[in-house]
Amino acid sequence: MWLIKREMIAELKRDLETLDAQQIVRYISDRYGEKTVFSTSFGIEDQVITHLLAENQTKASIFTLETGRLFPETYYVWNRTLEKYKLPIKAYYPNTAAVERMVTEKGPSSFYESVENRKECCYIRKIEPLKRAIQGFEVWITGIRAEQSANREDMDFVEWDEANRIIKVHPLFHWTLTDVEDFLKLYNIPYNPLHDKGFPSIGCQPCTRAIQPGEDFRAGRWWWEDRSKKECGLHATK
């Protein structure tokens, strides 16, 4: 089975390696149609992908993870995106009983106390809902770029996600931050205003801060963890 998957990924990479991001999105949308899913957190990269999907009049499903701890600015750009593109964006929420148990037993800010507690919170609010969101799909499109973190440099622009049993395609994998910003301006794409305030990566409000000049792209995520990989587990490579 793994050999078949490896050959399938290699073939898909050959088909896509000479295409630009717009062509990659069109190819995946045309080939996989309703078996394609795109996850957005309304960051600038995800906004580019949403624009490309809208241009292609995609049959792909679009979803977001509503963790219950998002910034007000995230809801602002969520609304503006719906107004501009008229694409349905399905919200997936964490399991209510799991959140109630965690908060009852450990309090609303247990994630500050240990890496284990933070990972538990991420699992309940993000990973478990994600697994429900992508179930039954064949291809998962993301807005990941290689330069975002060391973990993401270890990825490839097409890969097999063994944990979730799905093909992952990252059309913007080789884009720079400047490429993304230029595209946003060119097409007047709505984006989260926190990006203009030193937030290159935006997640849950209690777990995200602005970064200082010279800091790593992911330094503002879970900043209290000195040895964290700065990933919640959605896009872990191992």
Residue 30 CA to residue 198 CA, distance in Å, equals 37
Catalytic residue status for 204: no
Residue 136 to residues 53, 171, 191, Cα–Cα distance (Å): 20, 21, 30
Helix (H, G, I), strand (E, B) or coil at 208: strand
Q: Pull the structure tokens for residue 105.
A: 């037993």
Amino acid identity, position 19? L
Q: Which of 121, 122, 204, 232 is catalytic?
A: 232
Task: Enter the DSSP assignment of 4.
Answer: H
Residue 114 to residues 8, 48, 89, 122, 128, Cα–Cα distance (Å): 40, 35, 33, 12, 20
For residue 99, count CB atoms less than 10 angstroms from its CB and return exposed for 0-12, middle for 13-18, buried for 19 or more.
middle
For residue 62, count CB atoms less than 10 angstroms from its CB and return exposed for 0-12, middle for 13-18, buried for 19 or more.
buried
Q: Which residues are catalytic?
A: 232
